[in-house]
Chains A and B, each alone.
Chain A
Amino acid sequence: MADIHLDSTVLAALQDVMEDEYPVLLDTFLADSEERLRLLRLAEQATDGQGLRLAAHSFKGSCSNMGASLLAGLCKQLEEVGRRELLAEAPELIEQIEREFAIVRILLKSERQRYRR
């Protein structure tokens, strides 16, 4: 089911709140997420455990708000890795996050299509 990638009830609630601004919210999330991923990679390359933790924490928060629960779960694991300075496990997790985000992006793009006038 697509709901583990992107929860349709959460999207329905967001649509209800945002009304006409809903597509803008989706665009904003996608752009913001690209930036988060870039920060994650930078922190990993710099072996900055604390930086990794903060970036993962922020990304986790916005993923949960968008209903991307699997992605939020992966971010949570990465946050924990950063907190415990287990940097060897970071590359593998970041790769998983990138793959999951690719799926979420496709799903959001198609959601976005439905609202193109």
Chain B
Amino acid sequence: MPERLSILIAEDSAADRMLLATIVSRQGHRSLTASNGLEAVALFEQERPQLVLMDALMPVMDGFEAARRIKQMAGEELVPIIFLTSLTEGEALVRCLEAGGDDFLPKPYNRVILEAKINAMDRLRRLQDTVLQQRDLIATHNEHLLNEQRVAKAVFDKVAHSGCLDAANIRYLQSPYALFNGDLLLAAFKPSGGMHVLLGDFTGHGLPAAIGAMPLAEVFYGMTAKGYSLAEILREINAKLKRILPLGVFCCATLLNISFQRRVVEVWNGGLPDGYLLRAAGGARVPLISRHLPLGVLEPAAFNDAYEVYPLELGDRIFLLSDGVLEACNKQGELFGEARLHEVFAANRQPARLFAEIQQALAHFRGEPQDDVSLVEVSLVEEGALSRPPLAFAGSGQGSPLDWSASFEFRGETLRRFNPLPFLLQLLLEVQGLRPQGGALYSVLAELYSNALEHGVLGLDSTLKCDAEGFAEYYRQRSSRLARLGEGYVRFHLSVLPEPGGGRLIVRVEDSGPGFDGRAILEQQLALDSLCGRGLALVRQLSERCTWPADGRGVSVEFCWQAGA
């Protein structure tokens, strides 16, 4: 049963008006009557009826003008107007429609037809009502969604922008709302001055794709700042994503660990398209291939953190891209693909123009620009070329411990699985006076630890690293010997002493190896500028004093500070 409507009848003939009013009332509706257009408009404004029966020719104001005014007052709401007319000329009927009429009822009136028309118009009116309600609902939802995205992006920007994407050696291209395409780009300085870079691509779109970015960024930044290694960060991110994300949501990602001092990059790629190491000399493009499942897929025990290590020269660039580039599709349904990307690489003359050329090629290929691609390029520069922010600390540093010593010994099983550096660094940075030197301290500890482990405990020969093949061999031997490691130790002896106006830290590192002549190695390293480690020269440069005990079993470095410095 249709709902009861209130229906305005505008008709100047009293008998016709009465007849219509009666038909409408018998049908169960409420009738309002007017004898001319002006009355009709006034009555409409006052009573807001849902439907109008309108005579065309009336005194004072005709039905055409009244219809126009009523339609204007009704606005978006559909108030159907049925013209009552014995006009038959086409032109007159057109005038009715132009004035906003929705239908006609010819004279003489037929009750059955009038009822049917009122019902049909009522259906139309309710349909329009529903459409308007749903439109408003969608608009509200959309507003809501955009607002949520704004909030999410603002929160995420706070997390992500604590990074160093604006460092001079990084170039990147990303849509401002890449986060909601699932794309994620993070970069952070390590305490040692190196850099971690992550390009990620979560499955899906919208908030579900963005939600995993928050914990991932927290882990990435938090662990990088504390000096954790690439492998440890990968393990933690994978475990965390696996734990919190629903099945089928994961993150394809490439992680880079770039050391400007050692001039190497460690690369782990799980599911992203090949990245490229672009050699400055000779222009070779070394593909950085995905060898792993994406982050968040495997259980922690099955996760493989094995990464590849490549030596770098000044000016070498590492280029990463999201699958938006390769999967860009043209109108014929073809994919952009790797071959076209290689053409762009081959044609590129100015490195600074590479991103623009890729975008141009994509736009040319698709016939319109593509806005959901993420590109990043990191170059190897002289370490001093980058300005980096001081390390940030949570605590106030009050009550700083100033007179203590401690010794640690890390043995076989631990050396295989555990990185003691973040642990030691956290302890040492409790000493407020050491904080301004945190980066140098970390670099020196990292260098001494890797020397002790690689040369002392594992017995690796650093002269292997003098060419690219030997370099790879060195890292192959390192991982196989580490995996078989049963005995051996690395010891840290830490001693913090107060001094007038400041203090001093003495670190002595020993290992279970046969010992070495540090001074001789230093001489050798200073003489070579090759792929060999630059380690000991660096240690000497960064620390206050650097000495080798006569037995060759270890090395001792000192840092000192002035109070209030």
A interface list, Cβ under 8 A from B: 10, 13-14, 17-18, 21, 24-25, 28-29, 31-32, 36, 54, 57-62, 64-67
The listed residue (B19, B26, B57, B58) touching A65 by CB distance below 8 A is B19
Q: Is B86 an interface residue (CB 8 A)?
A: yes
Contacts of B18 in A (CB 8 A): 21, 24-25, 28
Complex A-B, nearest 7 residue pairs according to Cβ-Cβ distance, in ascending order = A29-B15, A62-B13, A64-B108, A32-B14, A65-B108, A61-B107, A28-B15
The listed residue (B12, B86, B111) touching A64 by CB distance below 8 A is B86
Is A58 in contact with B12, judged by CB distance below 8 angstroms?
A: yes
**Contacts known (A60-B86, A65-B107); A18 close to B22, Cβ less than 8 A:** yes
Is A64 in contact with B107, judged by CB distance below 8 angstroms?
A: yes
Q: Is B470 an interface residue (CB 8 A)?
A: no
Is B26 in contact with A67, judged by CB distance below 8 angstroms?
A: no
What residue of chain B has the Cβ atom nearest to residue A39's Cβ? B59
Instruction: State A58–B84 Cα separation when bound (angstroms).
Output: 11
Instruction: State A54–B107 Cα separation when bound (angstroms).
Output: 16
- Give the B interface residue count (CB, 8 A): 20
The listed residue (A18, A31, A58) touching B19 by CB distance below 8 A is A18
Beyond the given pairs A36-B13, A65-B19, 8 more chain A to chain B contacts, judged by CB atoms under 8 angstroms and listed by A's residue number, are A17-B23, A18-B19, A18-B22, A25-B15, A32-B13, A54-B59, A58-B58, A59-B13
Is B59 in contact with A61, judged by CB distance below 8 angstroms?
A: no
Is A58 in contact with B14, judged by CB distance below 8 angstroms?
A: no
Contacts of A57 in B (CB 8 A): 57, 86
Is A54 in contact with B19, judged by CB distance below 8 angstroms?
A: no
Instruction: State A62–B55 Cα separation when bound (angstroms).
Output: 12
Is A14 in contact with B86, judged by CB distance below 8 angstroms?
A: no
Is B59 in contact with A62, judged by CB distance below 8 angstroms?
A: no
Q: Is B316 an interface residue (CB 8 A)?
A: no
Q: Is B310 an interface residue (CB 8 A)?
A: no
Contacts of A25 in B (CB 8 A): 15, 18-19, 22
What residue of chain B has the Cβ atom nearest to residue A68's Cβ? B108
Determine which residue in B13, B18, B19, B59 has the highest number of CB atoms from chain A within 10 A of its CB, and name it.
B13
Write the B83-102 contact mask toward A (1 if CB under 8 angstroms, else 0): 01010000000000000000
Q: Is B345 an interface residue (CB 8 A)?
A: no
Instruction: State A67–B107 Cα separation when bound (angstroms).
Output: 11
The listed residue (A14, A28, A64) touching B14 by CB distance below 8 A is A28
Instruction: State A10–B19 Cα separation when bound (angstroms).
Output: 13
Contacts of A61 in B (CB 8 A): 13, 16, 55, 84, 86, 107
Q: Is B109 an interface residue (CB 8 A)?
A: yes
Determine which residue in A58, A60, A61 has the highest number of CB atoms from chain B within 10 A of its CB, and name it.
A61
Question: Can you list 11 A-B contacts (CB < 8 A)?
Answer: A14-B19, A18-B22, A21-B18, A25-B22, A54-B57, A61-B86, A61-B107, A62-B13, A64-B107, A64-B108, A65-B109
Instruction: State A65–B15 Cα separation when bound (angstroms).
Output: 9
Smallest Cβ distance from B96 to chain A, in angstroms? 14
Write the B512-524 contact mask toward A (1 if CB under 8 angstroms, else 0): 0000000000000
Instruction: State A21–B18 Cα separation when bound (angstroms).
Output: 9
Smallest Cβ distance from A28 to chain B, in angstroms? 5
Smallest Cβ distance from B63 to chain A, in angstroms? 12
Is B14 in contact with A31, judged by CB distance below 8 angstroms?
A: yes
Contacts of A17 in B (CB 8 A): 19, 22-23, 26, 111
Contacts of B107 in A (CB 8 A): 61, 64-65
Write the B4-17 contact mask toward A (1 if CB under 8 angstroms, else 0): 00000000111110
Smallest Cβ distance from A95 to chain B, in angstroms? 22
Contacts of B57 in A (CB 8 A): 54, 57-58
Instruction: State A21–B59 Cα separation when bound (angstroms).
Output: 27
Instruction: State A36–B16 Cα separation when bound (angstroms).
Output: 13
Is B13 in contact with A58, judged by CB distance below 8 angstroms?
A: yes
